[in-house]
Amino acid sequence: MRATLASQGWTFDADGATALLKAAEQGGIRLPSSCRNGTCRTCLCKLESGAIRYLIEWPGVSREEKQEGLILPCVAVAETDVVLNVPAARQISR
């Protein structure tokens, strides 16, 4: 599956087992993050399209936020191609 960053147009591969945050890093893109376990909400971002599922039972997003399409990519995996809105994403220099 393919993940796309809406503002930058960058894409990376997303499989159904790797958290989007990690999949992005493997694709050379760093998304904002801190705890990486779904509690701090540093990585909170908008899922513009596509579907995800969570790797943990209680990700730190409220029902309202879920309805707005907000997700925590550190604990979410793609179920379809996804488009994320993460203005603060950076390319990792190698």
In the DSSP assignment, the letter for residue 16 is S
CB closer to ligand FES out of 27 and 32:
32
CB closer to ligand FES out of 6 and 40:
40
Closest to 84 (Cα-Cα) out of 18, 24, 17, 37: 24
What is the contact surface with ligand FES in residues (CB under 6 A)?
33-36, 38-43, 72, 74
User: Tokens 């309202």, residue?
Assistant: 64
Alpha helix positions (H), 15-90: 20-26, 63-67
CB closer to ligand FES out of 24 and 38:
38
CB of 48 to ligand FES, least distance (A): 18
CB of 21 to ligand FES, least distance (A): 7
CB of 43 to ligand FES, least distance (A): 3
Give yes or no for a contact between 52 and 20, defined as CB atoms under 8 angstroms apart: yes
